[in-house]
Amino acid sequence: MTGVAISFREVTKSFGDKRVLDRVTLDVSPGEVLVLLGRSGCGKTTLLRLVNRLVDADGGGVFVGGREVADWDPVELRRGIGYAIQGVGLLPHLSVGDNVSLVPRLLGWNPDRRRERAAEMLRLVGLDPREHGDRRPDQLSGGQRQRVGVARALAADPQALLMDEPFGAVDPIGRRSLQEEFRSLSRELRKTVLFVTHDVTEAFRLADRIAVVADGGIRQVGTPGEIADAPADALVRGLIEGAA
């Protein structure tokens, strides 16, 4: 399945007195990788979590495939959207293979089909199912665990992927190769990907388009080239130059 469109319309969200998102409007096209780039606390993670309703908006609307997320049952919505986070959140008491096939299990796939799917997904992210499938997550390296996290997010063939700093806990070299592999993987699968990072280099490496987020709003949206050539304001320029 290729991706679906995700749109935010005038979305507002506050936690207590603090307004973290202020009338944000953004469109993610089907099949594109859109990176939300910004410093910590700018609201980018909240924006991502609105999509699978881990957070609900105070005002405005979020749409997945043209349907407003508020109209979905959250459980059903989440099973159709892959989710990968920093720290990965693998279940330590399950094998790697069982971790990968968790969403298919929730969807009621039979064990044979799940095992097959887990093996296929592990190969897709560059792990050998025979070597790694039966191990426990704590027997893998950090980079391998992140791959398992990506495999798990992809296992039920979701229409979209949400990724929150999914390569955050890896050393720079491992990180670079994960990024490159993810780049070609996302090109091949044509999923809609919303990817959160504070790392400018990572954003430029992975994105079809980048949305720069600051103070609860979007400062600029454009291809990496557009943003590098014509930063919209001093903040965006500062952010990119800070990384250069």
In the list 114, 117, 145, 191, the residue contacting another protein (rule: CB under 8 A) is 114
**At its nearest, how many Å lie between another protein and the CB of residue 199?**
19
C-alpha–C-alpha distance, residues 106 and 225, integer Å: 41
Judged by CB under 8 A, the stretch of 73-81, 123-131, 174-182, 187-195 that binds another protein is 73-81
C-alpha–C-alpha distance, residues 62 and 46, integer Å: 12
- Tokens 């971790």: give the residue: 99
85 binds another protein (CB under 8 A): yes
Q: Closest by alpha carbon to 64, among 3, 121, 15, 106? A: 3
Our CB check for another protein shows the closer of 78 and 175 to be 78
115 binds another protein (CB under 8 A): yes
CB 135 within 8 A of CB 145: no
β-strand pairing of 18-28 with 6-15 = antiparallel
**At its nearest, how many Å lie between another protein and the CB of residue 229?**
36
**At its nearest, how many Å lie between another protein and the CB of residue 50?**
12
C-alpha–C-alpha distance, residues 106 and 167, integer Å: 25
- Which strands form 209-214's sheet, in the order they lie side by side? 81-85, 160-164, 192-197, 33-37, 209-214, 217-222
Judged by CB under 8 A, the stretch of 14-22, 108-116, 184-192, 214-222 that binds another protein is 108-116
98 binds another protein (CB under 8 A): yes
Query: Which tokens is 202 given?
Result: 């990572």
Our CB check for another protein shows the closer of 65 and 217 to be 65
Q: Tell which positions 161-190 bind another protein, by CB under 8 A.
A: 162
User: How many residues sit close enough to another protein to count as binding (CB under 8 A)?
Assistant: 33
**Which residues contribute to the site for another protein (CB under 8 A)?**
52, 54, 74-80, 83, 85-95, 98, 101-103, 105-106, 111, 114-115, 134, 152, 162
